[in-house]
Amino acid sequence: MVEILNDSELDKMRAAGRLVAKILKALEKAAVPGVTTKELDDIAQDIIKEAGGSAPCVGYGRPPFPAAICTSVNEVVVHGIPSSRKLCEGDIVTCDVVAELDGFMGDAARTFLIGEVSEDKRLLVERTKECFFKGLEQAHEGNRIGDISHAVQTCAESYGYGVVRELEGHGIGRNMHQDPDVPNYGKPGRGHRIYKGMAFCIEPMITMGRREVYLESDGWTVPTCDGLPSAHYENTIIITDQGPEMTTYYEEEK
């Protein structure tokens, strides 16, 4: 069932979203050659703690996810587990951050470039963000979720990229994953109607090559089957009278 949030609940979504944006900003600064993905997780955990929030990813699912953020390097699409792996010049790393504050959540992801990155990876990251904004344009009352899905898919496929099918955007609020599902592919005019007061995540997961993915034996890490890179861009949005509002938005500096 899709939840409709009232004004005071929407304000709490905004506060949680600001916390997520603050974390991503700090992670972007820290994402340089030589840093480990575990160090990035420590930064996120410290900021959440200082704000008096919590990290819903810790202990989530089966096997329990062991960290606050997901760090997905190069061919890993999502759910990479922070570790002692050092990031290298030329890598791309997606940091996917969920934080809870005062009972409500924000969820957002950015793919950061580590040092000098090849042109094809840089374009993949830039165009994945463009896919998100094409979807966002469709996120207003009177439309349906399928309008968002179709816009994201059309943008990604216009570049010859793959759209991952196995993972989707989702409703969010008091829980990290709620109704409705927000796929990155589909037909316009289908899916749940969009109403004022809804909160959900739009999160294109786009591959440079084929769209097939698999699950590693750790139960979480999802790489591409062909080993080619993947990018991810996500914001939590709330639907207001003025249209969609991104609660987690911040503009990357590099």
Under rule CB under 6 A, residue 98 binds ligand MF3 = yes
Nearer to Co ion, 9 or 107 (CB): 107
Q: From the list 12, 14, 22, 79, which residue makes contact with ligand MF3 (rule: CB under 6 A)?
A: 79
Distance (Å, rounded) from C-alpha 93 to C-alpha 214? Answer: 18
Query: Which of the listed partners (Co ion, ligand MF3, none) does 60 bind, with a CB threshold of 5 to 8 Å by partner kind?
Result: ligand MF3
Distance (Å, rounded) from C-alpha 80 to C-alpha 26? Answer: 19
Residues 55-74 that bind ligand MF3 (CB under 6 A): 57, 60-61, 65, 70
Peptide bond before residue 63 is cis, with ω within 30 degrees of 0: yes
Under rule CB under 5 A, residue 107 binds Co ion = yes
Could you tell me which residues come within 8 angstroms of residue 106 by beta carbon, excluding any fewer than 6 positions away?
13, 16, 17, 18, 19, 20, 21, 97, 98, 99, 172, 236, 247, 248
Under rule CB under 5 A, residue 163 binds Co ion = no
Under rule CB under 6 A, residue 96 binds ligand MF3 = yes
Sheet containing 235-240: order of strands: 178-182, 169-171, 199-202, 235-240, 243-246
Q: What six digits make up the tokens of 16?
A: 């949680």
Binding to Co ion by CB under 5 A, coded x per residue (else -) over 171-210, reads ------------------------------x---------
Nearer to Co ion, 169 or 223 (CB): 169
Which DSSP string corresponds to 114-150?
Answer: -SS--HHHHHHHHHHHHHHHHHHHT-STT-BHHHHHH
Nearer to Co ion, 158 or 175 (CB): 175
CB of 81 to ligand MF3, least distance (A): 8
Angle at Cα 98 formed by Cα 240 and Cα 26, nearest 5°?
100
CB of 79 to ligand MF3, least distance (A): 5
* Chain contacts with ligand MF3 (rule: CB under 6 A): 57, 60-61, 65, 70, 79, 96, 98, 107, 220
